[in-house]
Structure 1
Amino acid sequence: MNLLETTIRDKEELYTLAVKYFKNINPEEYENVKFDTIIPKSISVLTDHDFIPTPCIGIKLELHRHDKLYNRCNYFLYVDENIEFVDEFLIFE
Structure 2
Amino acid sequence: MNLHKSIIENKEEFYNLAIQYYTNIDKEHLGECLIVLKSISILIDHQFIATPCVEIKLELRDQDSQKSIGNYFLYIDERRNFVDEFLIFH
The letter of the residue matching 1:84 is N
Structure 1 segments unaligned to the other structure (5+ residues): none
Q: Identify the structure with the greater helix proportion.
A: 2
SS at match of 1:54: coil
The residue correspondences of 1:40-79 to structure 2 (distance < 5 A) are 40-66=37-63, 72-79=69-76
SS at match of 1:49: coil
SS at match of 2:5: helix
- Residue 71 of structure 1 and its aligned partner are, at CA, apart by 5.1
Identity %: 53
Cα distance in structure 1, aligned partners of 2:68 and 2:58: 14
Partner of 2:29: 33
- Residues matched between the structures, number: 88
More displaced stretch, 72-81 vs 1-10: 1-10
Structure 2 segments unaligned to the other structure (5+ residues): none
Cα distance in structure 1, aligned partners of 2:89 and 2:79: 29
- Residue 9 of structure 1 and its aligned partner are, at CA, apart by 1.4
Cα distance in structure 2, aligned partners of 1:89 and 1:67: 24
Task: Using structure 2 for the length normalisation, give the TM-score.
Answer: 0.86
Runs of 4+ that moved beyond 4 A: none
Work out whether residues 42 and 52 of structure 2, in 8 Å CA contact, stay in contact via their aligned partners in 1. yes
Task: Using structure 1 for the length normalisation, give the TM-score.
Answer: 0.84
Cα distance in structure 1, aligned partners of 2:42 and 2:19: 18
Cα distance in structure 2, aligned partners of 1:92 and 1:14: 22
